[in-house]
A and B are shown apart, each in its own frame.
Chain A
Amino acid sequence: MRNFEFFEPKTIGEASSLLVQYGGEAELLGGGTDLIIGMKDRTVTPKYVISLEKVPGMEGITYDDTNGLWVGAMTKMRALERSSIVRERYTALAEGAEEVGSIQIRNLATLGGNIAHGSPAADTAAALLVLDAQVNIADGNGERTVPIADFYLGPGQTVLQAGEILTGFSMPPRSAKSGSQYLKHKIRQVMDLAFVGVATSVSLSNGTVADTKIGLAAVAPKPIRATNAEAIITGNSVSDNLLQQAAGAAAAQSSPISDLRCTAEHRREIVAALTKETAMTAVARAQV
């Protein structure tokens, strides 16, 4: 690893000023599980590394029935998967967090890092999409909030501007009649990247699905919502035939690539299969 200057700012403003001052020569350090690997193989060679660990208020999970869930950007994946409120009400997010790396990695890796990195295959991205997450962004002067669907621009690219820092995620409260699931297709059970990731969230009302959200990861230049499939399910009671139609619509809306992991055609088939399965599970969980 090349040497670098290391900073541990105590406020967002200080961190933001350092980012502006050093521009393209600086990198933010969250959990380090992407950055440190990149620095070792010299695909990333910052002269300045700015750790966010000492900035107060960036780590933690809070919930109340009015405001819903807030997760700080520096919150570890392991904390998310262990949180009872996340497991109960925001299940897909706990399941996404749990799919990242190993326990040792999840004790370092942060939710903010998983998203700010801009990977279309991020395990928590599909979950955040279907749980209506808002991304909290700050610099020294103020804050802004961006829906997660608008946060990504393309592979490795996000709306974060120079000096801006992702500080956390807010998700609205969820009704008792709601359920969600994230499923990841992979070869190894642990320590694998997603071939395809699908999250589905539903809420039920009088036996029909009042709201459906389906998020797809690793099958487009950025994590996307399968809005055509959502429209097929919403307003109806679920049946095998309906879910089959929705699965086909989700596959059609995806735009995967072929790579060393698998072909685009295979990825589309997996999108269909996981869409159906996550929708069935989400409905079953909403009924409990």
Chain B
Amino acid sequence: MRKHPISFTVNGDLQELFVEPRKTLLAVIRDTIGLTGTKEGCSTGDCGACTVIVDGEPVTSCMMLGVSANGKEVTTIEGISNPGELHPVQQAFLEKGGYQCGFCTPGFIMAAKALLDDNPDIPEDEMRHALGGNICRCTGYTKIIEAVLSAAETMRANA
């Protein structure tokens, strides 16, 4: 089957690839580019573990074709920190213990980052609702919510 040339950026780096149309964006990120921070959980869009940010908006990368990323800007968990300095959402997850096995964590962090970039003043109930597309099977969510609230505080202070 014919591969398609695509050109897009991942974490600011230009990627020029030939991809099979059936490869999801998730597969391209993990298997072709080798960035394995983004996780595959359910592969049906229900769990949010594969969340990446495309052109500023969070999407489930298991539900998007790699060829559809052509011309777009993709940010993964590997692309949100600066050298020697974690992103406020990452720092908050670390400090609050917002994870146990860690498999859902990259997706949660990307969803939370997108949410707080959009509105760092989001009320807690709306924040909980907005993170409803991310599932954690370990924690019971308490520490995750604490982490996102703490990150929001930091991001408001930095704004």
Is B1 on the interface with A (CB-CB < 8 A)? yes
10 further contact pairs, Cβ within 8 A, besides A36-B24, A40-B43: A1-B22, A2-B22, A4-B21, A32-B65, A51-B68, A104-B59, A104-B133, A105-B45, A108-B59, A189-B132
Contact B68 A107 (CB under 8 A): no
Q: Please, how many angstroms separate the alpha-carbon atoms of A105 and B42 in the complex? A: 14
Q: Is B138 an interface residue (CB 8 A)?
A: no
Q: Are A32 and B63 in touch, CB under 8 angstroms?
A: yes
Q: List 23 A-B contacts (CB under 8 A).
A: A3-B1, A4-B21, A6-B4, A32-B64, A32-B65, A36-B24, A37-B44, A37-B45, A37-B63, A51-B67, A101-B45, A102-B60, A103-B58, A103-B130, A104-B45, A104-B58, A104-B59, A104-B133, A105-B60, A105-B63, A107-B59, A189-B132, A190-B132
User: B51 and A189: CB pair below 8 A?
Assistant: no
Q: Within the assembled complex, what's the spacing in Å between the Cα atoms of A159 and B51?
A: 35
Interface of B is mostly: mixed
Q: Distance (Å) between the CB of A110 and the closest chain B CB?
A: 12
> How many angstroms between the C-alpha atoms of A108 and B60 in the bound complex?
8
Given contacts A6-B65, A102-B132, contact A191 B46 (CB under 8 A): yes
Most chain A CB within a 10 A radius of its CB, from B54, B63, B115: B63
Q: B64-104 CB contact bits vs A (8 Å, 1 = yes)? A: 11011000000000000000000000000000000000000
Compute how far the CA of A36 lies from the CA of B132 in the bound complex, rounded to whole angstroms.
21
The answer to whether A107 touches B57 (Cβ under 8 A) is yes
CB–CB B133/A102 < 8 A: yes
Report Cα–Cα, A72/B132, bound state, in Å.
27
Inter-chain CA distance A8–B45, complex, in Å, is 24
Least Cβ distance of B27 to chain A in Å? 9
Residue of B nearest to A6 (CB): B21
Among B4, B22, B115, B130: residue with most chain A CB under 10 A: B22
B39-63 CB mask vs A (1 if < 8 Å, else 0) is 0000111101001001001111001
Contact pattern, B 125-139, Cβ under 8 Å of A = 1, otherwise 0: 000011011100000
Per-residue B-contact encoding for A3-32, CB less than 8 Å = 1, 0 else? 111100000000000000000000001001
Contact of A5 among B1, B68, B132 (CB under 8 A): B1
CB distance from B13 to the nearest CB of A (A): 23
B58 touches A40 (CB 8 A): no
Give every chain A residue within 8 A of B59 (Cβ-Cβ).
104-105, 107-108
| A283 contacts the other chain (CB 8 A) | no
Chain B 1-40: CB-based contact to A (< 8 A → 1; otherwise 0): 1101000000000000000111010000000000000000
- What residue in chain A is nearest B107 (Cβ atoms)? A104
With A6-B65, A32-B65: A103-B111 Cβ-Cβ less than 8 Å: yes
| Centre residue among B60, B115, B129 by max chain A CB count within 10 A | B60
Q: Is A157 an interface residue (CB 8 A)?
A: no
Report yes or no: B60 in contact with A189, Cβ–Cβ below 8 A. no
Interface centre among A33, A51, A103, A108 (most CB of B within 10 A): A103
Residues of chain A within 8 A (CB-CB) of B20 are 3
Give the contacts of A104-149 with B (CB-CB under 8 A): 104-105, 107-108
Tell me the bound Cα distance from A198 to B2 in angstroms: 46
In Å, the complex CA distance between A190 and B45 comes to 12
